[in-house]
Chain A
Amino acid sequence: QQWVLVEMVQAFYEAPAYHLILEGILILWIIRLLFSKTYKLQERSDLTLKEKEELIEEWQPEPLVPPVPKDHPALNYNIVSGPPTHIITVNGKECINFASFNFLGLLNNEKVKSAAQASLKKYGVGTCGPRGFYGTFDVHLELEERLAKFMRTEEAIIYSYGFATIASAIPAYSKRGDIVFVDEAACFAIQKGLQASRSNIKLFKHNDMADLERLLKEQETEDQKNPRKARVTRRFIVVEGLYMNTGDICPLPELIKLKYKYKVRIFLEESLSFGVLGEHGRGITEHFGINIDDIDLISANMENSLASIGGFCCGRSFIIDHQRLSGQGYCFSASLPPLLAAAAIEALNIMEDNPDIFQTLRAKCERIHKALQGISGLKVVGESFSPALHLQLEESSGSREHDVKLLKRVVDYCMNSGIALTQARYLEKEEKCLPPPSIRVVITVEQTEQELDKAASLLKEAAQSVLN
């Protein structure tokens, strides 16, 4: 259909008068609307200038920070002089260290230190740039390869801070509108990652697979109502291998079954279980004998067993490669200092060469777990092979502050007698499910059997004297 000019002019002449007039009025109206002033909603205010100035004068903000009471426990922190190794000097007193997460005793290892020294001589201290802008060193690439090989996955990616690892990994995949099923006892870094992702969070009771299945079934019925939306909504389950807040292990085989039944991806946080569980220290997948490709993403920090700083994620290239452009803590932050990366590589070497330390560590955990049973007033919370367990009050007094004070007295008693312990610290107002106050007991490979027995008996004494 082609409009020829002549036909158009003819049509114009043949049109009825009312039609032309109507069209003319409409055109004029459009022109008027185009040129009229736009009104912004806010300027409709009826306040005069004087009133505005008065409002500005009168407004008083809160102080920038509320005052903190002088006796707040965090202000009277322990100062450690010297390295936080097996024998630690806390507030001037020498104690045996039961508080630092130095599970494999690599903090003071000579080989690790000399690897770090060699790297210091070659690279200096800092990397002066993010990974994208000349901050990628050959040590980083080597560490990523070694970690991927150790965990038997395709690829690994390193972050320069342990907290930022899982907190950047989750928002890289899960966006607004996606659904994440997370355990109630998940650590704070996971909670921050979930908050940054803006997805729908569904909490299930700690280690309760029936509760998780119920939530998954509910989601399934929701999906059937709206299949188009369901086709683009991603689902994830986020769990930890060994939970930091409770010392429990997560039931991974059941989770895998649920994964394939309901088509949900699993993100596993292995900060406490990497270098602890499994025959070679590969974590909970080795412990249960699960194919590592069944887990979509494993994230761990290198600050516990590897006694370095930083964190890593490992998995298939399909998944990990995405973080190189979307992981915020990776792209927008300076990379890990090379001396820490070199220390981590050396620590990995030691882990690979001495696979019997994991069994030794587990045996020590079992020993102290048994020895701590039956303390009156305190109960042990955590698996028998977990190197970081909690001692909670058997009966809470009702007020958290009072409980914290009681536990502090137990800790002080132990510190004065040469065992360094600490309470587990939380941000009370920020945690979603605040765990009850507890004393953290950390077992390392360097502690001898006498020291373990001494710690157990000292805790018994302290509990007796303080709580009875």
Chain B
Amino acid sequence: MANPSAVCNGHLHHHHQKQNNLLKSGISKKNGITKGMKKNGVSNGTLYKKTFIEHFEQAPMYVAVFTFVGFAVGTIFGYLRDFMRAWGLEKRNIAAEREQQKDFVPLYQDFENFYTRNLYLRIRDNWNRPICSVPGPQFDLMERVTDDYNWTFRFTGRTIKNVINMGSYNYLGFAETDINALKTVTIELEKYGTGVCSTRQEMGTLDKHVELEKLVAKFLGVEDAMVFGMGFATNSMNIPALVGKGCLILSDELNHTSLVLGARLSGATIRIFKHNNMQSLEKLLRDAIIYGQPRTHRAWRKIIILVEGIYSMEGSIVRLPEIVSLKKKYKAYLYLDEAHSIGAVGATGRGVVEYFGMSPDDVDVLMGTFTKSFGAAGGYIAGRKDLVDFLRTHSHSAVYATSMCPAIAEQIIRAMKCLMGLDGTAQGLQRVRQLEKNTRYFRRKLHEMGFIIYGNDDSPVVPLLLYMPGKIGAFARRMLEKNIGVVVVGFPATPITESRARFCVSAAHTREMLDTVLNALDELGDFLHLKYSRYSKSSHPELYEESRLELED
């Protein structure tokens, strides 16, 4: 029988399967984390209005052992091949430095490239696959063969048609070439051309940008918004404008490179808290306010928390209600990067803020990109008017970088109008519903088949764990033979033992396409022994008795 959750000091106690709810003192709480599942109840007026289920199951021990063995074998062979190449027993295929510059300091350390040369190179045909059609639910791949074990590729000239696309970030299916849908984009492209040739503060603010910014602000329910030409650059050029020396940045462990780069460029102190872990975040907040800056103990000028809406490698959704309550209690600021979650979660596609039923005023800086759910390019930052005015004057991008192409702005405008229902159809809402249905169906089926899937049940990003390095290449290649394009990721984007395949479910996928993929996965899972999950029978928590508890400090 589950314990009802107790709310103490505005904090939430998770209830879990075994009744090990310790309370050390009134302030800090002990939390049991099940390695099987984390479940949050809906009782006692808690912060979460619906169940929040995330999975991070750990694989059996033999899998970790074999993973390390795999890497060890790869490394030994790597040394062997390097040795053979150094002694001329094997041909050197790598590009070399110019003769005239041979006595310059070497540009690359040989060791830095060890991993690239010997491990990544063997399976590198699974990345950078060129396509030659629109990246919709199905696409056409250019056939690529290698004659020298992946050192070079050549195109045979044939295309592999109608490969099911499980890799592109096309959550709402706006990557389409339908003439009617793109009518306004075509008109604007004809009118404006492709370039802008100036920065926002000089002569680069077009009326299209003003229209887009008003629409974005309306869509999100905030006072004002500003758009930028590149999603990555939105983070790396605006975080340094908001914080500087003497400020503190608390950043999640698994934040995207653009957030990390922006934080580093700002010059503020960075502290990392464990992924989605509220105790870790609270401890950092308390220590920061109590002890101040290191060594001088001056008070911090401001504290900003950097989190993402959906984390693209884990598929987990940020625990927004808890973070907002922490932020209000400790007077910190919240920067939410909704690159993957805008348009993809929430009842009407407004992102994690709507998903948790919260108000956009709770988040200080709402940031997002248009690349994923809107099928365009660029990013935005939205919030209160004084924030956006400050960014108009002080953002690096506004002063030095070109503004967004107007045709692309039009694509975002038409996609947003469709989502908001302003184009007179219910298509936008249909897409959001379809995405939700597809996500739930896909995840449920994968769980039933016995794969280990990470992440929240509602997130359209589905990482399927492969673990062993040998299986990465095998999985991707065999799926391509079955005419399905998947994305596989290994070290260094993920921890070295947790290589995975990542599926991005789209609203444009039909039930047949998903079934094709699921059948292929079933077959391949048996062939490659990928069904590691111990909970394969069903996904109901009451039937488990095994759940290792770990108490956290």
Residues of A within 8 A of B (CB): 42, 45, 47, 49, 52, 55-56, 59-62, 64-68, 72, 74-75, 77-85, 88, 90, 97, 99-102, 106-109, 112-113, 116-117, 120-129, 131-138, 140-141, 160-164, 167, 173, 187-189, 192, 195-196, 230-235, 260, 263, 265, 293, 301, 303-304, 306-309, 316-319, 321-322, 324-325, 328-329, 332-334, 336-337, 339-340, 343, 420, 422-427, 430, 440
Within 8 A of A (CB), among B383-414: 386-387, 389-394, 396-402, 405-408, 411
Interface centre among B105, B199, B370, B372 (most CB of A within 10 A): B105
Contact B302 A163 (CB under 8 A): no
Contacting pair A64 B96 (CB below 8 A): no
Interface pair A62/B210, CB less than 8 Å apart: no
Assess the B207–A81 pair: CB atoms within 8 A.
yes
Note all chain B residues with C-beta closer than 8 A to A117: 186, 189-190
Are A100 and B129 in contact (CB-based, < 8 A)? no
Q: Are B192 and A83 in contact (CB under 8 A)?
A: yes
B95 engages A125 (CB within 8 Å): no
Residues of chain B with a CB closer than 8 A to A137's CB? 130-132
The stretch among B33-41, B258-266, B519-527 that forms the contact with chain A is B258-266
Q: Mark B114-150, 1 if CB is under 8 A from A, else 0.
A: 0010001000000111111111100100100000000
Please tell me if the beta carbons of A116 and B189 are within 8 angstroms of each other in the complex.
yes
Contact A316–B98 (Cβ < 8 Å): yes
| Structural contact, A141 and B130, CB atoms closer than 8 A | yes
B545 within 8 A of A: no
Given known A60-B331, A128-B175, A163-B233, contact A425–B199 (CB-CB < 8 A): yes
Of A124, A324, A340, most B-chain CB atoms within 10 Å: A124
Residue pair B105, A234 in contact (C-beta under 8 Å): yes
| Contact between B198 and A339, CB atoms less than 8 A apart | no
Query: Chain A contacts of B196 at CB under 8 A?
Result: 84, 100, 303, 309
Chain-A contact segment, one of B13-21, B57-65, B84-92, B163-171: B163-171
Q: Are B193 and A161 in contact (CB under 8 A)?
A: no
Nearest residue (CB) in B for A125 is B411
B154 contacts the other chain (CB 8 A): no
Interface pair A112/B130, CB less than 8 Å apart? no
Known interface pairs A79-B206, A81-B207, A126-B375. Does A120 touch B185 (Cβ–Cβ under 8 Å)? yes
Instruction: Please tell me if the beta carbons of A65 and B242 are within 8 angstroms of each other in the complex.
Output: yes
Taking a contact as CB atoms under 8 Å apart, the answer to whether B105 and A430 are in contact is no
Interface membership of B256, Cβ < 8 A: yes
Which residues on the B side are within 8 Å of A61 (C-beta)?
Answer: 300-303, 331-333
Residues of B within 8 A of A301 (CB): 402
A109 proximity list for chain B (CB < 8 A): 193
- Say whether B177 contacts A121, CB under 8 Å: yes
Stretch at the interface among B287-295, B431-439, B465-473, B533-541: B287-295
Contacting residue for A77 out of B205, B236, B257, B371, CB 8 A:
B205
Q: In the complex, which residues of chain A have a beta carbon less than 8 angstroms from the beta carbon of B167?
A: 129, 133-134
Residues of A within 8 A of B380 (CB): none
A11 to chain B, nearest CB (A): 38
Known: A68-B386, A125-B376, A126-B375. A84 touches B194 (CB 8 A): no
> Ordered nearest first, which 3 A-B pairs have the shortest CB separation?
A333-B232, A161-B230, A307-B195
Instruction: Give B136 Cβ to nearest chain A Cβ, in Å.
Output: 8
Q: Which range contains the number of B residues in contact with the other chain? A: 35 or more
Q: B194, A340: Cβ atoms under 8 Å?
A: yes
Residue of B with least CB distance to A234: B105
- Are B107 and A319 neighbours in the complex by a CB distance under 8 Å? yes
Q: Are A126 and B393 in contact (CB under 8 A)?
A: no
Contact B190 A75 (CB under 8 A): no
Whether A427 contacts B108 in the complex (CB less than 8 A), given A133-B487, A134-B129, comes out as no
B72 part of interface (Cβ distance < 8 Å):
no
Task: Report yes or no: B197 in contact with A307, Cβ–Cβ below 8 A.
Answer: yes
| B131 CB contacts on chain A under 8 angstroms | 134, 136-138
Minimum CB–CB distance for B262 against chain A, Å: 10
Contact assessment for B193 and A74 in the assembled complex, using a CB-CB cutoff below 8 Å: no
- With A124-B134, A134-B168, A232-B105 already in contact, the answer to whether A260 and B191 are too (CB < 8 A) is no
A318 touches B96 (CB 8 A): yes
* CA distance in complex: A328, B236 (Å): 11
Cβ of B105 and Cβ of A231 under 8 Å apart?
A: yes
- State whether the Cβ of B542 lies closer than 8 Å to any Cβ in chain A: no
Are B398's CB and A74's CB within 8 A?
yes
Bound Cα distance A427, B109 (Å): 37
Check A136 against B130 for contact (C-beta < 8 Å).
Answer: yes
A161 adjacent to B203 (CB under 8 Å): no
CA distance A335 to B287 in the complex (A): 41
Closest to A192 in B: B265
Q: Is the CB of A318 within 8 A of B95?
A: yes
A234→B446 CA distance, assembly (Å): 50
The distance from the CB of A290 to the nearest CB of chain B, in whole angstroms, is 13
B103 part of interface (Cβ distance < 8 Å): yes
The answer, yes or no, to whether B330 is at the interface (CB within 8 Å) is: yes
- B307 CB to closest chain A CB (Å) equals 16
Q: How far is the CA of A67 from the CA of B179 in the complex (A)?
A: 46
Q: Is B176 an interface residue (CB 8 A)?
A: yes
Kindly name the residue among B100, B261, B286 whose own CB sees the greatest number of chain A CB atoms within 10 A: B261
Partner of B206, one of A80, A99, A128, A427: A80
Name which residue of chain A comes closest to B300, CB basis.
A61
Q: Is the CB of B402 within 8 A of A325?
A: no
Q: Mark B502-520, 1 if CB is under 8 A from A, else 0.
A: 0000000000000000000
- Could you tell me the distance in whole angstroms from the C-beta of B43 to the nearest C-beta in chain A? 29
- The answer to whether residues A64 and B242 also contact, given A112-B193, A192-B265, A307-B193 and a CB cut-off of 8 A, is yes
Given contacts A162-B402, A319-B107, contact A138 B376 (CB under 8 A): no
In the docked arrangement, what's the CA distance between A309 and B377, Å? Answer: 11
A-B contact pairs, 29 of them (CB 8 A): A56-B286, A56-B330, A61-B301, A78-B205, A80-B203, A81-B206, A82-B191, A85-B193, A100-B204, A107-B194, A122-B133, A124-B135, A124-B177, A126-B411, A127-B135, A128-B168, A128-B169, A133-B168, A160-B377, A161-B402, A167-B236, A293-B98, A309-B194, A318-B98, A328-B257, A333-B231, A340-B405, A427-B394, A427-B399
